[in-house]
Amino acid sequence: MEVTFQPSHAVLCHTQSRSASTSSLLPPFTYKGLSIGCSPCRWPILANLSKFACRSVLCIQRKHGGISWCNIDAKEDFGRPNYDIRLHTQHRLSRYAVGRSGLTEAGTAGADYPLPEVNTVSKFRGMGFYAITSFNAIYLFLLMLVAHPFVLLLDRYRRKAHMFIAKVWATVTVTPFAKIKFEGLENLPPPDAPAVYVSNHQSFLDIYVLLTIGRPFKFISKTSIFLYPIVGWAMFLMGVIPLKRMDSKSQLECLKRCIDLIKKGASVFFFPEGTRSKDGKLGSFKKGAFSIAAKTKVPVVPITLIGTGKIMPPGREAILNTGSVKVVIHKPIQGNDAEVLCSESRNIIADALNRQG
């Protein structure tokens, strides 16, 4: 954690498990031999409490029901011999990790920050989700494998038969757990018309939801994913484009392959943010997808995904919360300037996210 001593920053007290390793919860400072953020007998690290230490402590309860403010003078109250015991009694916190709160910069006292609670139901739903997707992947992959020679012979670049199988797989997997609502399906280009599709990226669930649209576009994926049994092999048969993120040569080859596929009538799909958003906010867009669209003179189809990040939060792929997903397909945009296409696409998706609150 990053700790800075500035008047506008609050001390963040977050409940930690007793089994947490001590190396990951080192207290950032001490005062008069007392460690701020843990029991006085634990981890005495630094010497002095900065005179800029805040006068408020931001406390998150164990069940993450929200955030409450404790009106505490950090320098005075934490310096008292038995204050750790009193704070434990008053706020029912078994152990504290102290760090800088990014919320205090823009928030006000009493503001709530929604932290989803992981319950047993969500864990069992996650287990059921992966059980269904694994079972379906096995026999649908075998079907894809049988059809592959005919696909290469008759539809080498679009591979619509494989995409149909993938659509069935995604639909059967997602439907029992979440309702998907589509808006703007009339804005989709014809299946045989090449285009560059772009979308925001919130969750691992995004891929499943996008496959249910049923358009034969080519995703771009990390090369390591192709090594996964069944799923990685199916991606290879579908013609998914491999990419080594930190390899400039691989990136160049990926762009060339995308251009070649578009010229031969296939469509490609990009997540212009490059990775999943950790907080649900839309990140900056990279221009690669829009450079391809401008160069090949094909339309860009912006798509907004809403709700996937709440159902399967990034970094917590083992759980599946209840909820619904909305897919908004916007009108295609076209142009010769990659910068303009990038900015316009991001604004369209951002506006749709903002309207949903």
The DSSP annotation for 224-244 comes to GGGGSTTHHHHHHHHTPEEE-
Backbone angles phi, psi at 84, to 5 degrees: -60, -40
**8 A C-beta contact, residue 218 and residue 261:** yes
Q: Where are the domains of the chain?
A: 120-355
Helix (H, G, I), strand (E, B) or coil at 218: strand
Shortest CA distance to 326 belongs to which of 216, 180, 196, 218?
180
Per-residue pLDDT of the chain in tens (357 residues, 90 and over written 9): 444 444 444 444 444 444 444 444 444 444 444 444 444 444 444 344 444 444 444 444 444 444 444 444 444 444 444 444 444 444 444 443 333 333 333 333 333 334 455 689 999 999 999 999 999 999 999 999 999 999 999 999 999 999 999 999 999 999 999 999 999 999 999 989 999 999 999 999 999 999 999 999 999 888 888 888 888 899 999 999 988 878 888 889 999 999 999 999 999 999 999 888 888 789 999 999 999 999 999 999 999 999 999 999 988 989 999 999 999 999 999 999 999 999 999 999 999 999 876
Give, in degrees to the nearest 5, the angle at Cα 255 between 254 and 260: 95
Are 288 and 197 in contact by the 8 Å Cβ rule? The answer is: no
CB 243 within 8 A of CB 221: yes
Assess contact for 60 and 73: CB atoms under 8 A.
no
**CATH T-level assignment (fold) for domain 120-355:** Glycerol-3-phosphate (1)-acyltransferase (3.40.1130)
Report the b/e string of 164-179 with b at 16+ CB within 10 A.
ebbbbbbbebbeebbe
* Helices marked H in 51-108: 74-77, 83-91, 103-106
**Beta-carbon-side half-sphere exposure of residue 210 (alpha carbons within 13 Å):** 24
